[in-house]
Amino acid sequence: MRKALEATELQAALQRLSEWRVVEGKLAREFRFRDFADAFAFMSACALRIHALDHHPEWSNVYSSVRVQLVTHDAGGITARDAELAGVMEEIAARFPRG
């Protein structure tokens, strides 16, 4: 079963995920790449992991920027799976040159 993280668990997750913030109850981050090709290559790499995890982000792309928001609606908050997906995205983004 999925339960929203307790405040202390969320703090611990945010310490590992130093670029992420909680915005309106969602785990949020903007990634900036060099150009559209890199931004979409990042999204493609994430998509395979997302599909395998069966846990999906709310994400948007404008040219070289990708904004991500993670929340588990069933649990009414941010769960361990959101933190896990954030970690996966962070690892993938780290491969790309910064924009």
Strand blocks (E) in 1-99: 21-23, 26-32, 58-62, 65-70
* Distance separating alpha carbons of residues 89 and 47, to the nearest angstrom: 10
Instruction: By CB under 8 A, tell whether 56 contacts its own copies.
Output: yes
Phi, psi (rounded to 5 degrees) for 69: -130, 130
Which region among 5-13, 15-23, 79-87, 90-98 touches its own copies (by CB under 8 A)?
90-98
Q: CB-wise, 6 or 51, nearer to its own copies?
A: 51
Instruction: By CB under 8 A, tell whether 47 contacts its own copies.
Output: yes
Residue 47 Cβ, how far from its own copies at the closest point, in Å?
5
List the one residue out of 24, 98, 18 whose CA is nearest residue 66. 98
Judged by the rule CB under 8 A, the positions of this chain that interact with its own copies are: 36-38, 40-41, 43-45, 47-52, 56-63, 92, 95-96
